[in-house]
Structure 1
Amino acid sequence: MDLLNKIAIVTGAGSGIGRASSIKLASNGAKVVVVDFNKETGEETLSLIKEQGGEGIFVQADVSKSEDVQKYVNAAIETYGRIDVFFNNAGVIQKISPLTEIDDAEYDRIMSINVKGVFLGLKHVLKIMEGQGSGSIINTASTAGIRSEHSMAVYSASKHAVVGLTKSASLEYVKKGIRINAICPGGVQTALTNSVTEMFETNGYVPDELPNMRMGRYAAPEELAEMVTFLASERASYMTGSIVLVDGGLTL
């Protein structure tokens, strides 16, 4: 198995891409530190890992709080002694609306989780990986980090920031044995994307333009998990600073 006995941390692991990737990493031999704000869904993911014979622990954390990020890093080190893979994945979607109607609290919520959470994860995990002289980090950006999405100005800005953090961090650590890449999903069948339709129905607001799902379907979370697992492994040994589109042609 590609990741036999490697230690992986996955944030936002309670659902969607985070859950699918946690299970896939474990099936490839990794021991997984499952991190989520939601205790119930996070523990469900851990149970699914153990049901297939995998190993891991669960840590409840708010990724926007430095002390919580330090908590999941400490848990990984105290339990397993190192961190080989970090899937810096936790994120939220904004309430879809015109820019002028986005209130300050919504802006702060999106940027706190999507940008500060990714930054804090990088900050704390990189210190460990630098000491080891090795590691692979995968950040979750979005197609909205490559091009803007209509009526999602703050979300688009947050994911552009994730792309920028990925490129800058990869440049800093390119000679230190640490690879840092980002995936850009575009339309994945998760609770997060399901909430978009609910927003349209609840708010009565539909953007002038909607994403063009060129393949005629959303991706399954497991399809993104395949890319995460590849980037985590030595098969991607010459990849760093890469912003990888997994979008079914959405950005074409």
Structure 2
Amino acid sequence: MSLRGSSVIVTGAGAGIGRAAALRFATEGARVVVADLNGDGAAAVVEEIADEGGTAVAVVGDLSEQAVVDRVVATAVESFGGVDVLVNNAGIVDGMTAAHEVTDEEWDRVIRVNLTAPFLLARGVVPHMLAKGKGAIVNTASEAALRGSAAGTAYTASKHGVVGLTRSLAIMYRGSGIRTNAVAPGATMTSITAEVAREGHGPAALMPYRANFGRVSRPDEQAAVIVFLASDAASNLNGVILPVDNGWSAV
């Protein structure tokens, strides 16, 4: 996979898909910055990697804040000599809320975590990748980035935005050796939960469409695709939005 010795940032790496990706990168010989809001989760993943003979360091904080993003990037550069791979995986869900039910607080939080944070991190790492003449960014989009029936208004808009960010980065830097792709997970076993008002307009409108998602995937199945997209095995893939959803997007 040609990842040995690479410097990799994985966000949301304290649990779920991010944890699985961090562990898999470490198995491939990469050095990993484990970034997460949950300090205990991040520390546990760093310990898991160390126990298997790998190298990792944790950075804890809210990735929608510029100061935290700066610390994540600086840690990768100072600890591992640069940034070869960025995995923008951290995200939150909404309450399947319809537009007229969305509060300003829910909208602002979902957009900042799911879309603004990946932008801030990409902006932070690209100069380091340009200096090396190569790099890979992998964003976690969602089945909700491919359709309007998978989630609420804020989450759906944020993940459609991730697709636009992915494609823009792919085109902007294709001549500089930097590739940007995204996975679009379907239903996956993670610790992310949401408070859904079952009597709300959003859940009532969306539930009839959610019977098509098929089986629920394991985090390691998502991680395998993320690591592939970051590796030289995917050297000619750029701007791809790859569904990892057991065929949900084909329905």
2:242 maps to a residue whose letter is V
Q: Write out per-residue CA displacement over residues 192-214 of structure 1, whole angstroms, 9 at most, x where no aligned residue.
A: 1xx24xx34x6555433332345
The answer to whether the 8 A contact 2:143-2:150 is kept is: no
1:36 and 2:33 are equivalent in the alignment? no
Q: In the alignment, what sits opposite 1:49?
A: 49
Q: Write out per-residue CA displacement over residues 5-33 of structure 1, whole angstroms, 9 at most, x where no aligned residue.
A: 11100011011100000001100110101
Q: Give, in whole Å, the separation in 1 of the partners of 2:131 and 2:2.
A: 23
How many residue pairs get aligned? The number is 246
The answer to whether the 8 A contact 1:15-1:41 is kept is: yes
2:110 aligned counterpart, secondary structure: helix
1:212 aligned counterpart, secondary structure: helix
Q: In the alignment, what sits opposite 1:174?
A: 174
1:245 and 2:250 are equivalent in the alignment? no
Q: Give, in whole Å, the separation in 2 of the partners of 1:24 and 1:102.
A: 37
2:134 maps to a residue whose letter is S
Q: In the alignment, what sits opposite 2:206?
A: 209
- Structure 1 residue 96: deviation in Å? 2.0
State the TM-score, normalizing by the size of structure 2.
Answer: 0.94
1:209 maps to a residue whose letter is L
Q: In the alignment, what sits opposite 2:20?
A: 20
Q: Write out per-residue CA displacement over residues 207-229 of structure 1, whole angstroms, 9 at most, x where no aligned residue.
A: 333323453x2000000000011
Q: Give, in whole Å, the separation in 2 of the partners of 1:171 and 1:145.
A: 19
Q: Give, in whole Å, the separation in 1 of the partners of 2:150 and 2:99.
A: 10
Q: In the alignment, what sits opposite 1:67?
A: 67
1:162 maps to a residue whose letter is V
Change (3 A) 1:103 1:46: same
Q: In the alignment, what sits opposite 1:138?
A: 138
Where do residues 99-178 of structure 1 align in structure 2 (5 Å cutoff)?
Answer: 99-149=99-149, 152-178=152-178
Change (3 A) 1:55 1:151: closer
Q: Give, in whole Å, the separation in 2 of the partners of 1:97 and 1:170.
A: 31
The answer to whether the 8 A contact 1:187-1:213 is kept is: no
Q: In the alignment, what sits opposite 1:233?
A: 231
The answer to whether the 8 A contact 1:98-1:151 is kept is: no
The answer to whether the 8 A contact 2:144-2:150 is kept is: no
Q: Give, in whole Å, the separation in 1 of the partners of 2:27 and 2:221.
A: 15
- Structure 1 residue 44: deviation in Å? 1.0
- Structure 1 residue 60: deviation in Å? 0.9
Q: Give, in whole Å, the separation in 2 of the partners of 1:158 and 1:92.
A: 10
State the TM-score, normalizing by the size of structure 1.
Answer: 0.93
Q: CA RMSD in A?
A: 1.5
Q: Give, in whole Å, the separation in 2 of the partners of 1:6 and 1:213.
A: 38
1:251 aligned counterpart, secondary structure: helix
Q: Give, in whole Å, the separation in 2 of the partners of 1:28 and 1:150.
A: 33
Q: Give, in whole Å, the separation in 1 of the partners of 2:68 and 2:12.
A: 13
> Which segments of 5 or more consecutive residues in structure 1 lack a partner in the other structure?
none
> Which segments of 5 or more consecutive residues in structure 2 lack a partner in the other structure?
none
Change (3 A) 1:224 1:36: same
